[in-house]
């Protein structure tokens, strides 16, 4: 049992995405990404079985999908995607997300 605070990883750097590994076990990987306003975490996918969740804990932007798809994303929104589905995030404001990937990649 271990606890951490995502308030301790609230770091933004203009023009890039900072990330902090919360957990990496045989069961899942949890990563906190902090995107600076205007930055994009590019659409990508991996040819693996599994799913991921993206929970917005602060800020506004868009969830990105295949063929240019965009879904508005704000605090409290959660996206579920297969690992093999194209997915990404674009930040409008400084934006914080928690990504959980199972199984871990």
What is the contact surface with its own copies in residues (CB under 8 A)?
1-7, 22-23, 25, 27-28, 30, 49-51, 53, 55, 57, 63, 65, 69, 71, 73-74, 76-82, 85, 87, 98, 100, 102-103
- For residues 83 and 46, the answer to whether their CB atoms sit within 8 Å is yes
Gap between the Cα atoms of 48 and 72, Å rounded: 26
Least distance CB 1 / its own copies (angstroms)? 5
Query: Nearest distance from residue 102's CB to its own copies, in Å?
Result: 4
Nearer to its own copies, 36 or 81 (CB): 81
Query: What's the min distance (Å) between Cβ of 36 and its own copies?
Result: 19
Q: Which residues contact 21 (CB under 8 A, 6 or more apart)?
A: 29, 30, 31
Gap between the Cα atoms of 30 and 22, Å rounded: 5
């Amino acid at each position: 049992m271990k606890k951490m605070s995502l308030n301790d990883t609230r770091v933004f750097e203009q023009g890039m995405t900072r990330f902090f590994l919360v957990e990496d076990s045989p069961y899942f990987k949890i990563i906190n990404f902090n995107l600076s306003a205007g930055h994009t975490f590019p659409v990508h996918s991996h040819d693996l079985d599994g799913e991921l969740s993206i929970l917005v804990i602060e800020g506004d932007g868009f969830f990105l999908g295949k063929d240019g798809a965009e879904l508005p994303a704000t605090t409290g929104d959660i996206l579920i995607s297969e690992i093999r589905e194209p997915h990404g995030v674009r930040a409008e404001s400084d934006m914080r997300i928690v990504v959980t990937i199972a199984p871990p990649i």
